[in-house]
Structure 1
Amino acid sequence: MADSSTDATTRRGERSGVPVSRDSVLAAALMIIDRDGVEALSMRRLAEAVGRDPMVIYRHVPNKAAVLDGVSELVFEQVRVDADDPDWTTQLREVARSFRELALAHPNVVPLLVTRPLSTPLAMRALSVVRPLEDILRLLMGAGFNGADALHIYRALFGFLYGHVLNELQEVVERPEETDEVLRLGLHRLPITEFPLLRGLAPVLAAYDGAAELERGLDILLTGLTATLPRTTP
C-alpha cells in the first residue's frame, strides 16, 4: 500500500498533466523571478508552480544556485551574434541593443546575468553563456583584430553593457507627478552645500533616456577602440 506522501506526489502529477523537465522547471523559475524577484524564488514555490512535489524538482536541478544559473542561461540563449557580419561595429551595436532589450524585459534577472557567470570558471559555464564570447571573438578576428585585442573589446563592451543596464534600471523617479526636477528625483534630500554639482544636474538626470545613453556610450567606446587598436589585414 502506497504511503500518503506517495499519494500526494501522484495527485500533484496527475493534476499537472505536463511532463517535468529541466527546461520547464527553469521556465517556471524565470516567470517567478520576472513577477516577484529573485528573493521570492524557493524550491517549494517552484515545485508548486510546476505542480509537483519538491523532490521531483531536485531530480532536474540540485539546488537553488543551479536554478539561478539556469535562469541566466535561458536569457543568455537569446543573445544573438552574427559572427559573419562584415561590419563589426554595426554588429556590436546590434548586440548591445538586443542585450538592453533583454535586460528591460527581465529586469529582475539582470543581477544574475552580471554575477552568476562570475561564480563559475569559464570552461565550466553553460554553452549558452560562453557562446556570445566565442561568436564575438570570431567576428572581431575576422575583421582583422588579433585574439588578445578581440578579447579586450569583448570585455570592454560587456563591462559597459552590464554597467549601463544596472544604471538604467536604477533610474527611479521618486515623484513622477512633480515638475521641479530636484523634487522629482528626491535630490532635495541631499545637503545643497555638499552636493551642489549633483543637484545642479537635476534637469539632465530627470531627462534620462536609456536608449540615447546606450548609443552615446557605444559611440565613445567603439570610436576609441577603432582608433587605438591595431588590425591586421583580414
Structure 2
Amino acid sequence: MKPKNSLNPALVVERALAIVDTEGLDGLTVRKVADAFGVTPMALYWHFANKEALLAAVGDAVVSSLRIPDEDLPLEDYLREAMTSLVDVMRAHPSASPLVAQQIMQAEVGRDLTERFLDKLSLAGFDVERSAAVAHYTLQIAMTLVSREPGAELAFKPELRQEELDRKRAMLESLPEDRYPRLRAAADAMIECANTDEYYADGIAIFVAGVMADAKTLAEA
C-alpha cells in the first residue's frame, strides 16, 4: 500500500477515475479509494466533503482534456472539431461520460468551448434558443454515441460483456428468416462495431450535416 503521506487531491481523483474506468460509476466508493492508499475513508474527507464532491472532481479531470477548436474555422469544421473533442474525452473514459455533462459548465475549458460554439452558431443566424438547443444536442449525442457504442455494453462488467453480446446475437439469429431477413443478416453489425473510428466519424458527420442543413435554411430565409 502507498504511504499515507502520499495522499493528495490529484492522486485521489486519479485513483477514483481508474475505478470508474474499470467498474463504472456505481462501482466507485470512498472506501475503495481509501483502501488503495491504505487509509480510512475519513482521511479522504479532508480533501472531498463527500462522494458527490469526489465525483465532481473526477468529472472536472475528464473535462479538462477538452480541446477548443480554432475559432477561425468555418462553421462546419468547427462543429465537427467541437463534437470530436467531446467524443474523444468520453471515449477515453466512457463510464465517466455522464460526469462530463454534469461538470462541463463548471470548468473553464468547458465554458470557453460552449461560449465559442454558441458564438459560431449566432454568426450563422441561429437565435439564442436554437443555439442553446444545438449545444445541448451536441453534448447529448456525443454521450449517446459513447455510452451506446455497439459492443461496449458499459452496463456490464468486462467479464460479463461477451456473454451479453452472445445472448443478443443468438436472439437476433433466432428470429424468423421470412419476417426478419435483414436483422438476421445484420446480427453481428447490430451488436458490435467492426470499426469504432468509422462508427464515431459517421455519427459526428450525420450530426454536423443536420446542423448545416439548418444553417443553410436560415441563410436562405
Which TM-score tier does this pair reach, normalised by the shorter chain? Answer: 0.7 to 0.9
1 CA distance for matches of 2:118 and 2:52?
Answer: 29
2:12 to 25, 40, 49: 25
1:180-232, CA deviations, whole angstroms, 9 ceiling, x for partnerless residues?
xxx96742234413972432322543554332222223333222222223259
SS of the residue corresponding to residue 143 of structure 2 reads helix
Q: What are the within-5 Å matches in structure 2 for residues 140-155 of structure 1?
A: 140-155=121-136
2 CA distance for matches of 1:44 and 1:207?
Answer: 36
The match for 1:219 is 205
Cα distance, 1:136 vs. partner? 1.5
Letter in 2 for 1:25: V
- Structure 2 length-normalised TM: 0.73
1:202 to 164, 172, 187: 187
Cα distance, 1:162 vs. partner? 1.3
Cα distance, 1:71 vs. partner? 1.0
Cα distance, 1:20 vs. partner? 2.2
The match for 1:66 is 53
The match for 2:157 is none
Higher relative contact order at CA 8 Å, sep ≥6: structure 1 or structure 2?
A: 2
Cα distance, 1:164 vs. partner? 0.9
Q: What are the within-5 Å matches in structure 2 for residues 42-191 of structure 1?
A: 42-82=29-69, 84-114=71-101, 116=102, 125-127=106-108, 129-168=110-149, 170-171=151-152, 174=162, 186-190=168-172, 191=174
1:69-88, CA deviations, whole angstroms, 9 ceiling, x for partnerless residues?
22112111111223623322
1:75-133, CA deviations, whole angstroms, 9 ceiling, x for partnerless residues?
1111122362332221222232233332232122124435x459xxx7xx454554432
Q: Is the 8 A contact 2:20 2:28 kept in 1?
A: yes
Cα distance, 1:167 vs. partner? 1.5
Cα distance, 1:63 vs. partner? 1.2
SS of the residue corresponding to residue 85 of structure 1 reads coil
Cα pair distance change 1:41/1:227, threshold 3 Å: closer
SS of the residue corresponding to residue 81 of structure 1 reads coil
- Structure 1 length-normalised TM: 0.70
User: Percent sequence identity over matched residues?
Assistant: 25
Aligned residues: 206
Q: Please tell me whether residue 40 in structure 1 is matched to residue 31 in structure 2.
A: no
SS of the residue corresponding to residue 44 of structure 1 reads helix
> Please, what is the CA RMSD of the aligned residues?
3.4
2 CA distance for matches of 1:142 and 1:50?
Answer: 51
Cα distance, 1:40 vs. partner? 3.1
My pick for the range that moved more, 157-166 or 31-40, is: 31-40
Q: Is the 8 A contact 1:174 1:186 kept in 2?
A: no
Larger Rg: 1
Letter in 1 for 2:146: V
